[in-house]
Structure 1
Amino acid sequence: MFLDMIGTMLISLLKIRNTFQKEQYNASMSSYSALSEIYLCMHLIDIKTGKYEQIKNVKHVEKECEELDQENFSKRVYTTMKYFCTEMYLSSVLEFVDLSTLDRRLMETNTIVHEFIGTVSGWCRERFIKVDSDEKGRLWHVLYCVEVIDEQKRREKKLLYLSETDSMTGINNRGSGERKITEFLEKKKGGLFCLLDCDKFKKINDTYGHAVGDTVLIKLAAVLQRACRENDIVMRLGGDEFAMYLPGMPDKAQAESFFKRLFTQIDKISISEMQGEKINVSLGASLYSDKDRATFDTLYHEADAAMYESKKIVGNHAIIYSDLPQARQTPL
């Protein structure tokens, strides 16, 4: 009788435990389901077995996956990503979803993310979220989620463009231009640094109005961009002052050839309100060798000194700092 009582009690306790575990499971799945609203898809994965439970999936993904392995997560996600990930990102995506390395990657954090471009939804972010570990502290269950971030990426790209671009001319502003030039200098990428401004710009504003002055700056910036190569840096420093950096052009003969081409294009600028009056610029330049050590400020001050001398000559004119009497005689 005593053993029967003990047996009955154990059965009751097991039923209570199973009911409690079921309630816990249902509560967890309910919370996962609520969380999945912000995601394109979500799966709960058992790391030990590789099996998964699908919490959410979108119709166009589900349709393509009908014939795929319905139990093994790795097989399913590998095949799915071949449909929905662009070739450029496929290898990095497959590396990210590798369950064999997940315990190590989630050792000191609760979540890891990776971004890729999908073939249907554009930019996406995939994420692993740690759920629990076993009694030995080894990773047991994780959530795998994918969200669409295409709109976010477009906003970020627009904000980055606005933060780096001069609003009037559309070229680099001082902050972004200086940063990009500094990156070339840190890599010892020698080249030609140019500083120029528009001669008698105040007179243009006073005579024809500030709207015409703005047109002069816009057209001058466009000419500078056309004269430069794709990887060259063109920036507006402020007012009518512009700067350029042409990496890979530390040779004086090449520089003079560039000045000639640039001045030919500037000479073609025509603004109807100015009644045929030409736009002239004064240009100062500094040549930076791969063997030199320089900062943006060093090149700026050298080019500024050369531009000051250039202003003494009427018409489009350029002077290289090394041609000045006070030029440095030793490398930077």
Structure 2
Amino acid sequence: MKTVIKYELTLNKAMRSALSYGTPDEQIDEFIRYLGRHIGADRIYIFEDCPKKNITKNTYEWCADAVKPEIDNLQNVPMELIGWWYDLFEQKKNVIIDDMEDIKETHPDSYELLSGQNIHRLVVAPFRYKDEISGFFGVDNPPDTDSMGLALFLDMMSTLIISMIKIRDTHNTKTRKARFMGYAAFAQIYIFIHYINVQTHLYEVIKNTDNGFRDTTDGSFEIHIKKLLKNCCANEYLSKELAFVDIDTIEERLDGRSSIVSEFYGTAFGWCRGRFIPVDYDNDGRLLHVIYCIESIEEQKERENSLLSMAQTDLMTGIYNRGHGESLIEQLLHNKVKGMMCIIDCDKFKSINDTYGHSVGDDVIIAIAHTLQNICRKNDIIMRLGGDEFAMYFPGVTEKKNANEIFERIFKRTEKLNIKALGDRRITLSLGACFYDGIADISYDSLYCKADEAMYKSKKQGGFCATIYEP
């Protein structure tokens, strides 16, 4: 009777100590820690069964000082390895081993598992609640006292353990629902949101759109997402996106990252971005759940394109600015694309500004830019170098005959320009050109200097003159 009262008092104190903690997991940890210290054992632990997989896992553990923790090593333990324990549990009995050597011959697998953990004696009791909760808890190397009394103590713990695990599971369910509500809070950003178990490939749809896609398949995420992407992803991006949503490789690709993304063009939403976000990990540190979501980035793409255009374009004329034009020509030269470089300058432009004002000068620059742009082919490059100076590169043009035809078109169209503010005054151009044979290495600066030198020779001769550089 005294032993029972002693154990009841210990359990009551352990529960009071546990309830001083906030979360169920912390309460269970404190509960077994308190018991461990007052019993004087090496280790107290709780294992929870997974009957569907026929395994059991060490979910909580307390160890005395200098005793090696085993919780990381005792995950996914096959239940048949200690099958005789479960036979005793079915008979409503506990496992009591006063001397590990007693089971060396009768249960060699258990002996090897337990003695490898430096266990000499133990007492283990089961806990069961309907078909929802099952497992066992035990004490390793308890004081060499009454093992039956300790078994009685563990039986008294059973109801408390079940209650605490039920509270934990309820708390986790509420936390999960709260997490889903949190996802819903930012769901306005996304077209689709999925919650996926990486290990089972099962999924839940947190958000769907009303664009007509209503997949009710209960299968794996792969089946669902393949249907979804076929419905909303442009064909030219489909194979890339199917590779991106491969769940078998997602853990490796996410390794240490907060998210990974892939962009594609959507048939219903324009430009879209798919994103994987890790949610949590299992006891072995393996990725457990991820969020996969798709958002429309059409407006963002429009802004990016607008900013990119501003960065590449001369604001006055709308053609390429010097920086971008040079980079494009440098790329062609790097790839050994033969062609012709031209430098074009408006004759006596300073006198136009001085006589008619800068606004008229701006009109002249814009008119010349549009004229040059209109004679360009698709792959030709035209840019404003600054002031009244322009540069052009014509890929594939390497003969004087073709060059002269281009010069003639430029001059004829410029001659027809009519700027009302100039009255009868006509705009004339001077042009210098240089060929690149596509064989030798050459820099943009070198090619520019040669064409510029030829242009100044044209300047000396006056109006509508073109000179091709000669070494």
Task: Establish whether TM, by shorter chain, passes 0.5.
Answer: yes
Instruction: Verify: 1:49 aligned to 2:200, yes or no.
Output: yes
Distance 2:399 2:287 in 1: 60
Deviation at 1:71, TM superposition (A): 4.1
Whole-angstrom CA distance in 1 between matches of 2:159 and 2:282? 30
- Letter of the 1:301 partner, please give it: C
Deviations 1:227-258 (A, max 9, x none): 11111110011110000011222333322222
Instruction: Give deviations 1:252-282, integer Å, cap 9, x for gaps.
Output: 3322222122222222222233233221111
Measure, in 1, the Cα distance between the counterparts of 2:420 and 2:170: 86
Please list the CA deviations of residues 183-231 of structure 1 after superposition, one character each: whole Å capped at 9, or x if unmatched.
1111111211111110011122223332322221111111111111111
| Deviation at residue 2 of structure 1 after TM alignment | 4.6
1:21 is aligned to 172
Post-superposition shift, 1:137?
Answer: 3.5
Q: 1:100-111 residue pairs with structure 2 within 5 A?
A: 100-111=248-259
**How far, CA to CA, are the matches of 1:163 and 1:88 in structure 2?**
28
Partner of 1:321: 469
State the distance in 2 between where 1:120 and 1:142 align.
25
Bigger Rg, structure 1 or 2? 2
Q: 2:242 aligns with which of 78, 84, 94?
A: 94
Is the partner of 2:294 in helix, strand or coil?
A: strand
Q: How does 1:86-165 map to 2 (within 5 A)?
A: 86-165=234-313
Residue 37 of structure 1 aligns with which residue? Answer: 188
Q: Distance in 1 between matches of 2:218 and 2:296?
A: 24
Aligned to 2:408: 260
- For normalisation by structure 2, the TM-score amounts to 0.65
Q: TM-score, normalised by structure 1?
A: 0.90
Aligned match of 2:426: 278
Deviations 1:26-64 (A, max 9, x none): 34323323343322221110112211112222222xx42
Residue equivalent to 2:389: 241
CA-to-aligned-CA distance 1:46-93 (integer Å, 9 cap, x gap): 112211112222222xx4214x41442211111112221122222222
DSSP-derived class of the 1:145 partner: strand
Matched pairs, number: 320
Residue identity opposite 2:182 in structure 1: S
Q: How does 1:147-296 map to 2 (within 5 A)?
A: 147-296=295-444
Query: SS of 2:159's equivalent?
Result: helix
Does residue 301 (structure 1) correspond to residue 301 (structure 2)? The answer is: no
Question: Structure 2 CA distance, aligned partners of 1:187 and 1:39?
Answer: 42
| CA–CA separation in structure 1 for the residues paired with 2:388 and 2:190 | 49
Counterpart residue identity of residue 129, structure 1: I
Q: Name the residue aligned to 1:11.
A: 162
How far apart are the structure 1 equivalents of 2:161 and 2:285? 29
Report how far residue 317 of structure 1 moved. Answer: 0.8
Among all aligned residue pairs of Structure 1 and Structure 2, give the percentage whose two residues are the same amino acid: 47
Unaligned runs of 5+ in 2: 1-151
User: 1:182 touches 1:295 (CA, 8 Å); kept in 2?
Assistant: yes
| 2:458 alignment counterpart | 310
Q: Does the 8 Å CA contact 1:252/1:287 hold for their aligned counterparts?
A: no
